[in-house]
Structure 1
Amino acid sequence: MNVTVKNCVIQDNMKYNDEIVLTYKIEYPQFSSMYYIKSLNAINKYYFNKAVEIQRYYKKELYKSAVEQYIYSKQNDFPIRVYEGLVQYQVAYNMACIISLYFDNYMYLGGAHGNTVRTSETWNLQTNSRIKLNELFECQLDYKTYILNQVIKEIKKDPSIYFEDYEKLTIETLNVENFYCIPKGIVIYFQQYDIAPYSSGIREFLILYTDCVINPFKKCHMKFD
């Protein structure tokens, strides 16, 4: 039983002196199903409110900064660089009572390049709650140690695209909130600049489901085809 996903969009081009100084687009999901209606209503409200909050930030704070940059550029005969905000998401896992997705929040503020921050959630619709990373591990070894070993092992295959002190940085920047699920396993990700230069992007590491790592649909008490 898969949940249906509707893509919703909030977007605008904001002007100052009849010139566009800020463009933004916010995509967010709204879920529907004949099951788990209460949970899905709560999740839909959560993502709608999140999108509105981001829009509010764009329209107030980011627009103000874009106008200031526009005025400065005009006064100094610099090129006008339009600010940009873009939020996109990907539903990576939609099975039984589990939904896992991530959002990439990209902002360009007139510099050499923009920056992206990723966030993610994995939901158990039966319990109307988010699944924590440690709930998906049944290892005798501490789950963080297990993850770090897997990540560092993968990095060692091609360390050239990472910072030299990647082992230290991996330990320091591992965030247990930074994961999502796919059918094959759990994806652990690190933000831009955490363990690698900007050019290497957001680094992702797949931890395959095993006897130790639980496929989240096993958390469902009832399964729908």
Structure 2
Amino acid sequence: MNGKVIDVKKLVIQNEMKYNGEVVVTYKIEYPQFSSRYYQKSLKAMNKYYYNKAMDFQKFYRKELYKPAVEQYIYSKKNNFPIRVYEGLATYRVTYNMACIASLFYDNYIYLGGAHGSTIRTSETWNVQKARRMELYEMYECELDFKTYLLEQVKSEILKDPSIYFEDYDELIIENFNSQNYYCTSKGVILYYQQYDIAPYSSGIREFLIPYGDCITEPYKKCFFACD
């Protein structure tokens, strides 16, 4: 069995926070709820994980955004400046869902009234059958050093258009390499770097496709196909 056996439902928490009768903070949080006739114990733990993650987002938005938003509101009113509403937005996307493997990433966007907001990405790939997160090295099957292979793939892609990266990208791709910053797709593994890690804000979160092939095996092949 290598087809989809896990269903995903999107749940949403959203709210507005006001001061002096006017909205100063808005936030919206998406989080997944998994279900299946299989792996129910594992999926229950995953659902708890993502519910708690959503609660952490909400706590952060309410605690860390509201006070500076009120201060900015008072300053803007006093000086006849436009009111800028602070925003928190947590969205996810399931990028791989096959057999016992589910992979997804979260983008946490925060806007604090400036020229633009900022986004931090996190991701998880789950081997639901084994009830744990899957590490990227588990899909690697070549003799060449794991990190060396990945960085060679990244550098090869950068060389196609180095102008959108910082000049010292050679050092930065090593310095900011994080093997946790990956997710799976139908074509291969996506390795990513955060905003400003290796390129200016205008270049966004940089993603690099590492295709399935000789060195990277497709994750569903790590499943035992008899479901529990």
Q: How does 1:46-125 map to 2 (within 5 A)?
A: 46-125=49-128
Residue correspondences, number: 224
Counterpart CA distance in 1 for 2:18 and 2:206 is 35
List per-residue Cα deviations over 1:71-118 (Å, max 9, x = no partner): 122222222110000011100000000000000000000110000000
Contact kept, 8 Å, 1:97 with 1:223, in 2: the verdict is no
Q: 1:134 aligns with which of 123, 132, 137?
A: 137
**Aligned AA (1:99):** A
**Helix, strand or coil for the counterpart of 2:9?**
strand
**TM-score of the two chains, using structure 2 as the length reference:** 0.96
Q: 1:151 aligns with which of 130, 142, 154?
A: 154
Q: 1:41 aligns with which of 40, 44, 54?
A: 44
- 1:193: Cα distance to partner? 0.5
Counterpart CA distance in 2 for 1:12 and 1:105 is 16
**TM-score of the two chains, using structure 1 as the length reference:** 0.97
Q: Percent identity?
A: 67
- 1:184: Cα distance to partner? 1.0
**Helix, strand or coil for the counterpart of 2:130?**
coil
- 1:223: Cα distance to partner? 5.9
Counterpart CA distance in 2 for 1:60 and 1:160 is 39
2:177 paired with 1:174: yes
Question: RMSD of the alignment, in Å?
Answer: 1.0
**Aligned AA (2:26):** T
- 1:159: Cα distance to partner? 0.6
List per-residue Cα deviations over 1:27-85 (Å, max 9, x = no partner): 01000000000000000000001101110111122111211111122222222110000
Greater shift in the superposed pair: 209-218 or 107-116: 209-218
**Helix, strand or coil for the counterpart of 1:211?**
coil
